[in-house]
A = this chain, B = another copy of it.
């Protein structure tokens, strides 16, 4: 994890420069392809690094606190947390994973179901995997498979289904065009 760097000042990035420090005072982390890493930075710093910041100030952080800190997670908090993790994993899964990585992902999903704290949710997930083999061949195939798994739960809970053609906008790229 990066240490806060308070002695440096954030500088607005141009098309040709990559800022080292974000508006939070922390070092900005880039992916190995050189692009700002969305899941490694706070939203504020990510938007700053991509030049896409539009009037979102530090008060945005107030919305980050999802739950009173001292209460064990209930089924809703646990579900939202877990889908967030899984969809974000899909967003960073390789476009062309090798066979080992594909096998590892299937293994991870199986273990995920078996350790899931809500036992009947976990059993449902394990059944879903057995019936619908995870499509781990590409990032997009996995992202869509996961979205469909999530939709099956949405339907059971009476929630609206998500358009799985849009999964990358929701979980990877965001809804706005790249700056």
Binding site for B on A (CB under 8 A): 1-4, 29, 31-32, 37-43, 46, 63-64, 66-78, 80-82, 84-85, 87-89, 91-93, 104-105, 107-108, 111-112, 114-121, 124, 153, 156-158, 169-175
Give the CA-CA distance A118 to B88 in the complex, in Å: 9
Q: Which residue of B lies closest to A44 (CB)?
A: B74
Quote the shortest CB–CB distance from A99 to chain B (angstroms). 15
Quote the shortest CB–CB distance from A67 to chain B (angstroms). 7
Quote the shortest CB–CB distance from A172 to chain B (angstroms). 6
| Known interface pairs A72-B172, A85-B81; A40-B121 also in contact (CB < 8 Å) | yes
- In-complex Cβ contact of A81 among B74, B84, B93 (8 A): B84
Give the CA-CA distance A70 to B40 in the complex, in Å: 18
Q: What are 5 A-B contacts defined by CB distance under 8 Å?
A: A3-B158, A39-B73, A73-B87, A81-B81, A92-B117
Which B residues are CB-close (under 8 A) to A76?
A: 42-43, 64
